[in-house]
Amino acid sequence: MTIMRTRQAVIQALSDELESDPTVFLMGEDIGSGGPFKATEGLIEQFGESRVIDTPISEMAFLGAGVGAAAMGMRPVVEMMFVEFIGVALDQLTTQGAFFRYLSRGAYQVPLTIRAAAGAGLGFGCQHSQMLDQWFRGNSGLSLVVPSNPQSMYGLLRSAIRSNDPVVVLEHKALYGERGEVITGEAGIIPIGQARVVTEGKDVTIVAIGSTVITAKSALESQNEWTADIIDLQTLIPWDRTTVINSVAKTGRLVVIEESSYSGGWGTEITSEAVSRLWGILKAPPHRITSPDAPIPYAQELEKRYLPSTDYVVSQINELIKTGKNPAPWWEGKN
Amino acid sequence: MITSLSRRQQLSTEVGRLERMLEIRAVEESIQNLYNDGHVRGSTHLANGQEAVSVGIATVLRPSDVVTCTYRGHAAALALGVTPEGVLGEICGRVIGCSGGIGGSMHLMDASVGLMPTFAIVGAGLPVAAGVALAAKLKKNDSVALTIFGDGSTNIGAFHETLNMASIFKLPVIFVIENNLYGEYTRINLSTPISDLADRADSYAMRKEIVDGQDIDAVISSISAAVEFARAGNGPSLIEAKTYRYSGHSRSDPATYRLPGELDQWKQRDPLNIAAERLISKGAFSGSDLEKMKAEITLRVSHAIETVLASDGPSLDELLKHVQAGGK
């Protein structure tokens, strides 16, 4: 076990896969020099320019090239410097790569990993701070994982590279600098589709991904009124229904914390499933704590407010447990 | 037994190439009747008039080379080796179709002869072909990728991004524009400020060539040079085949936008006639051989249609198969 930062866990996972499989290679903008988050630092020196390939700023070309190379038996790991950049190349992932196996009746497969820095909190403004998981949900043929700490970054990224289908890895940029213990090697690999139970409690199930796992933990630790099962989904597509439903069946209450717009958020699917499966045994209506329906502002105070804060999560859960009704979001009546 | 691979080998002779072009024409001409009889759904995009480009390409490439092609792909699929049953079966959504009836006319495929599922989004096949070429380069083999697309694709971002990247990476990929003068319903001069699209290669310091797309021998020689160039590690080429489609963009397009007399003028240079006349002029093939060949093809296509119509649609299980590796 080693202590490392999340960005170092990225480097370690990439390095371990490059080492163990000659078909793995990296491709993206400025990855040779490490990129803005130093998440590929040192790899070009270690593995050379034929396995760490710097590309022009042409996302459609190099993401699509990832699809083509993957279909020919390579395992490309394509970096999108910021997840928004996938927008100019979305066709290649969602319409081409994701459907290649289906259309070819399994003759071609696309073992392609797309790493993308995502998430708010560092003042990158509305075009470099979104999660954008909603672009991929409902799209057959691909998976999506969201690490929340150095260990899950290492373990999920290695699984993504080993997957025989396209996998999007949303790397929360506010977590790159966080430190944690990491088990490397085979023992550190985390399967796609498996949630992690972070804490066990009796009053409420809190479902979170990426940065909101941190928020959930600090909310739990900052009060003594209630205990919680905190579930880090780790994989959003396909999400671990069994772990979530079993937990909510036990606690009777479900709260989802999402760092993205209220409308169309991933929590709608979680709460809908819980209501459908557990109708009649819920102690309170499932509740979503999200960001408002607005682009992400730059000014620090507003960006902080955009994100579900620890205090806000605590007050929302307190009210839910006390009243048995959904608390109103902070922005209600303000627009 | 006839396989896609054995059919590919038939292109090694001039007679075989003529026969394939005639077959493509006959297969495409049969589609309207199949549609009228309710066997074809959605849309189809014919390539009649453009047969020499597809057959020329298939003649030069090895089956281990990979082709990405647009939704106007019947001709490319048949040229590369897919059987008439495979193509018509797919167009009719039957299990014997080359994509098992799952893809339809716009998504033909056959990995045994290097045809990736054809692309229904304009320009989408170009980046993928570059990736195929990148894989060949990384694996240090001498395979090439070839991508076939229309004049309309030269105005989409994927074209420019991919040409630029292929050039700086010196990828073994051949970009073939089938310039049939119309991007969907719009004549090229209304969408594109230049008439020789090959000139776009200049911006990317790329080898280029313009070729008469109605003359299969010219196509073969142009593609051969580009393929050799790529196999030798010298990088990509952009080839513009000047050609013409006799049908509208898709079935619902009556092509009323054509210039008066334009269609007749192009039919004077029909690629099938050019190839047949050349073969006959050499003496070893006669007009009656040609008639016999056409009759055989008519029979072959009608047999193929019988086989297709006797074939089932894919079973319900197929709907859920091959979604992801973990699936059934």
Identify the closest residue of chain B to A25 by CA–CA distance: B138
Write the pLDDT tens digit of every residue in B47-101.
Answer: 999 999 999 999 999 999 999 999 999 999 999 999 999 999 999 999 999 999 9
A62 in contact with B at a CB cutoff of 8 Å? yes
3-state SS record for B4-48? HHHHHHHHHCHHHHHHHHHHHHHHHHHHHHHHHCCCCCCCCCCCC
Of B217, B315, B303, nearest to B2 by C-alpha is B303
Write the pLDDT tens digit of every residue in A293-316.
Answer: 999 999 999 999 999 999 999 999
- Tell me the C-alpha distance between B175 and B172, whole Å: 10
Write the pLDDT tens digit of every residue in B283-322.
Answer: 989 999 999 999 999 999 999 999 999 999 999 999 999 9
Q: Quick check: A70 and B131 CB within 8 A?
A: yes
Which backbone phi and psi does B58 adopt, to 5 degrees?
-65, -30
Q: What is the ipTM of this complex?
A: 0.95
Asked if A256 contacts A272 with a C-beta cutoff of 8 angstroms, the reply is no
A312 in contact with B at a CB cutoff of 8 Å? no
Residues of chain B neighbouring A73 (CB-CB closer than 8 A): 135, 139
Taking one residue from A and the other from B, the number of pairs with CB-CB distance under 8 angstroms is: 141
Report the pLDDT averaged over residues A209-218: 98
B170 CB-near residues (< 8 Å, 6+ apart)? B137, B233, B234, B235, B236
Write the pLDDT tens digit of every residue in A75-90.
Answer: 999 999 999 999 999 9
Q: Say yes or no to pLDDT of A325 above 80.
A: yes
Q: Say what the pLDDT of residue A1 is.
A: 85
A96 in contact with B at a CB cutoff of 8 Å? yes
Report the pLDDT averaged over residues A10-35: 97
Q: Quick check: A67 and B322 CB within 8 A?
A: no
% of residues, chain A, pLDDT over 70 = 100
Tokens of A216: 């959930």
Tokens of A58: 């042409």
Tokens of B310: 């006797």
Cα dihedral B99, B104, B109, B115 in deg (nearest 10): 180
Report the pLDDT averaged over residues A100-128: 97
- Tell me the C-alpha distance between B251 and B72, whole Å: 12
B65: closest CA of chain A, how far (Å): 11
Q: Which site among A104, A162, A192, A194 would you substitute to test the B interface, given the most B Cβ atoms closer than 10 Å to its Cβ? A: A104
From the options 3.30.1490.100, 2.70.160.11, 3.40.50.10950, 3.40.50.970, give the CATH code of B4-312. Answer: 3.40.50.970
Ordered by where they begin, the domains of chain A are 2-188 (3.40.50.970), 196-323 (3.40.50.920)
Q: Quick check: B124 and A92 CB within 8 A?
A: yes
Q: Say what the pLDDT of residue A333 is.
A: 82
Q: Say yes or no to pLDDT of B328 above 60.
A: no
Residue extents of the structural domains in chain B: 4-312
A74 in contact with B at a CB cutoff of 8 Å? yes
CA angle B148, A66, B134 (to 5 degrees): 65
B121 in contact with A at a CB cutoff of 8 Å? yes
Write the pLDDT tens digit of every residue in A47-67.
Answer: 999 999 999 999 999 999 999
| pLDDT tier at B326, thresholds 50, 70, 90 | low
Tokens of B298: 């008519």
Q: Among partner residues B158, B321, B326, which is closest to A61 by beta-carbon distance?
A: B158
Q: Say what the pLDDT of residue B281 is.
A: 97
Q: Say what the pLDDT of residue B284 is.
A: 87
Strand stretches in B81-168, DSSP E: 145-150
Q: Quick check: A61 and B128 CB within 8 A?
A: no
Distances in Å between the Cα of B4 and the Cα atoms of A8, B10, B14, B55 are 49, 10, 18, 14
B158: closest CA of chain A, how far (Å): 6
Q: Say what the pLDDT of residue A334 is.
A: 78
Q: Say yes or no to pLDDT of A335 above 70.
A: no
